[in-house]
Structure 1
């Protein structure tokens, strides 16, 4: 009976562990942008990738790490070149009604924004720059 209770307690404790496991080291260190796509040639994905590559300096200054998730494959950084299979990053099926989706995850690990289409970087930057921790970063850098 005791073993059963211990097993149940551990199951409950670690029930969400697999999906968030790879984002854990980034918590409080980086913001994360997850780009979900069913194809690297999807127009919304290409639009978002191109904008992020052009805005590379702004991406870095906002401590933003970009992941591309295509099916069960995950690639960190842009352009998506090096793939790993079956990483328990997030559920790859979410946000793919239109073949593309994105999620912005804050420093605290919470999802701050979702979209099923590419987002202008100005909109993304306004969202990030309005976050309390980003405002504190800017204040500490004397930019506010």
Structure 2
């Protein structure tokens, strides 16, 4: 964890990334992130359509990103440094990654995007439990 924090501080001080673009670090504590990596634009569009039409995304403070060879789609209006997202991609081909508000990777899916499974994981997290009690 300490190494991660030091790397984050170094990157912020060094000014790495796309000018004016957010990074995963800048989303920490505000959003949970779902990053979906697909090999084709059409598969990416299918994933983006699924995420766009899934109830509960905003309620769970989720920022989602669909990364294809052609570009990135998101529910945020802020652009994001693509390199900060691609650093999450470990599998060959399709992968969906859930990142918690604390910045840690919580889950990976390599077969297909299962938003309900991600929601189930999120809803058992202590921070989410607290959010649900406070609403």
1:90 Cα deviation from its structure 2 partner: 2.9
Partner residue of 2:102?
108
Q: Deviations over 1:21-55 (max 9, x none)?
A: 7112210000011111121223xx45533332221
Number of aligned residues: 120
TM-score between the two structures when normalised by the length of structure 1: 0.67
CA RMSD of aligned residues (A): 3.0
Unaligned runs of 5+ in 1: 1-12
**8 A Cα contact 1:73 1:85, kept in partner:** no
| 1:70–1:93 distance in 2 versus 1, CA, 3 Å | farther
Q: Deviations over 1:90-141 (max 9, x none)?
A: 33693452x2111100000000011112233321211110111000000111
Unaligned runs of 5+ in 2: 1-5
TM-score between the two structures when normalised by the length of structure 2: 0.71
Partner residue of 2:124?
130
| 1:23–1:102 distance in 2 versus 1, CA, 3 Å | same
**8 A Cα contact 1:72 1:92, kept in partner:** no
**8 A Cα contact 1:30 1:65, kept in partner:** yes
Task: For 1:41-120, list aligned pairs within 5 A.
Answer: 41-42=42-43, 45=44, 47-55=46-54, 57-71=55-69, 73-77=71-75, 87-91=82-86, 94-97=89-92, 99-120=93-114
